[in-house]
Copies of this chain bind each other. A is one copy, B any other.
Amino acid sequence: MNAERMANFQALFHPRSVVFVGASNKPGKWGSIVLANLMRNGFNGEIFPVNPGEAEVQGLKAYARIADVPGSPDLAAIVVPPPAVPGVIDECTAKGIRAGVVITAGFAEVGRDGLRLQEEMVDRARAGGMILVGPNCNGIISPPGRLHLAMPPVYPAAGTMAVIGQSGNVATSIARRIMKLGFGLSRFVSSGNEADLHCEDYFRHLAEDPETRVILSYVEGFRDGARFLRIAREVTARKPLLMLKAGGTGAGARAAMSHTASLAGSDAAFRGAVRQAGVIRARNMDDMVNMALGLARQPLPRGRRVGIVTAGGGWGVLAADACARAGLDVVDLPADTLAELDAFMPAWWNPGNPVDLVAALKPDHLWKSLEGLLRCPVVDGVIMLGIMPALPWRPLPPKITQEEIKERLSDFLAGVRRVFERFDQMAETYKKPVVVASEIPVVGPDLEARMAEVLGPKGYVCYQTPEDAATVMAALADYAEYLRDRN
């Protein structure tokens, strides 16, 4: 990426100052909601509201024209009506502004007149060396700089996940899911009509962005499929690029056409091309988030051979089914590994893979089984089901006070943190992924949220089902295989 382009993206995601064109004091107006979000989120640069009719907007000094703003701002947020936008772009470029987020709707998506206006806007921006997000979008969020220039009331912490979406509402849904697991975002872009910047432009930038480790995307269609595939191949050599591609069925394609005028194209052909470019495709939002968080932390496996340790027989059967369906090999364990496990497991243990910890749920059995599988040369990664045996356990008394419940919850959370630290250390020691799914053994309305607070900031995830664990392991194996084969 050339220096000018890098400066543009620097202005977009790390602006020192934002000119807000169309800033409003009227509650409910986009120019009010987005500005309030920007202020509430504690943006650490300067904000210059532009509104010819107000002296102040939301307590900030307002300017009648962009030209009046002091200094040389980096980024413009634009929420004025469509016909005014091309003129605003001229004023921005005259001021040296390098990037703009056009939230305003009413361009190509409403017909020929809108399309003409959109083309004029892009022509002027390009002539002036300015890049544009949108129009007709929900905005962008760049949590490392506390830049929240977007409609949705979601305030992600800084993290390493980038979300790029051709639908603002799906992108927001994806962001919420990441946040719910205690993780943060590096960037959030609702790309809207993609008049100037297309999704592959963001991908290419994010590949070089040191704050982004994994890219998650929601895509309905591409303007130029060949260009996307060329760029995707560059991106996937450097970091994982995940995609939820909508419009793969007839009904979905018709809906996509109506939504973003996207030509979704043949799903089968797309699947093949995308796989060759190393893009990891997700079936739904939850799968994509689960895979992304696994890819951000886990060592990549050397192959598709999986060992399973389970605290419950049924969960082991479900995991074995899910692994087989995901193209993973629930490998036959060699005699020496089985003998090693047999040495400490109870007499009624049935040697095999999954390793079922049966009724004897002792911490030692869990850790020794896990280590036995990680040491085993034919096992490329381990799925661990059920963390309960590893946690300190005290029987519940017939009656329990609120105070005791609180104390137990706090012990439980501390135990969970230690257990996941140990999983993580073992994965690192043996350079094999350890993907953990568990029922949460204690009932409490906010327990999942509190576990996420403990685990997410360290990069750990407790997946919810055996199928989730298999999906994540398969994504790790797919990406590892792709990286090996491309060289």
Contact status of A314 and B246, CB under 8 A, knowing A105-B359, A359-B105: yes
- Check A254 for interface membership: any CB of B closer than 8 A: yes
Q: Specify which chain B residues have a CB less than 8 angstroms from the CB of A251 in the assembled complex.
A: 320-321, 323-324, 329-330
Least CB separation from A111: chain B residue: B348
Least CB separation from A350: chain B residue: B258
Of A70-78, A127-135, A441-449, the segment with at least 4 beta carbons within 8 Å of chain B is A441-449
Q: Within the assembled complex, what's the spacing in Å between the Cα atoms of A40 and B179? A: 36
Cβ B252 vs Cβ A315 within 8 A:
no
Q: Specify which chain B residues have a CB less than 8 angstroms from the CB of A250 in the assembled complex.
A: 324
Choice from B36, B169, B330 contacting A396 with Cβ under 8 Å: B36
CB-defined interface of A82-110 with B at 8 Å, one 1/0 digit per residue? 00000000000000000000000110011
- Check A247 for interface membership: any CB of B closer than 8 A: yes
Cβ B439 vs Cβ A445 within 8 A:
no
Q: Specify which chain B residues have a CB less than 8 angstroms from the CB of A165 in the assembled complex.
A: 314
Q: Within the assembled complex, what's the spacing in Å between the Cα atoms of A467 and B285? A: 10
CB-defined interface of A27-45 with B at 8 Å, one 1/0 digit per residue? 1100011001001100000
- Check A153 for interface membership: any CB of B closer than 8 A: yes
Cβ A314 vs Cβ B166 within 8 A:
yes
Give the oligomeric copy count. Answer: 2
Least CB separation from A38: chain B residue: B398
- Check A259 for interface membership: any CB of B closer than 8 A: yes
- Check A286 for interface membership: any CB of B closer than 8 A: yes
Q: Within the assembled complex, what's the spacing in Å between the Cα atoms of A450 and B467? A: 27
Cβ B252 vs Cβ A324 within 8 A:
yes
Of A170-178, A227-235, A424-432, A479-487, the segment with at least 4 beta carbons within 8 Å of chain B is A170-178
In chain A, positions 379-433 with a C-beta closer than 8 Å to chain B are 386, 394-399
**A-B CB contact pairs (8 Å), 28 listed:** A27-B394, A32-B395, A36-B395, A36-B397, A36-B398, A40-B398, A59-B398, A105-B359, A153-B443, A154-B443, A167-B312, A167-B314, A168-B312, A170-B315, A170-B318, A171-B314, A220-B317, A247-B321, A248-B321, A251-B330, A252-B318, A252-B324, A254-B352, A258-B352, A259-B314, A259-B316, A285-B465, A446-B446
A-B interface, 8 closest residue pairs, ranked by CB to CB distance from nearest: A167-B314, A169-B312, A252-B321, A445-B449, A170-B314, A249-B324, A259-B313, A251-B330
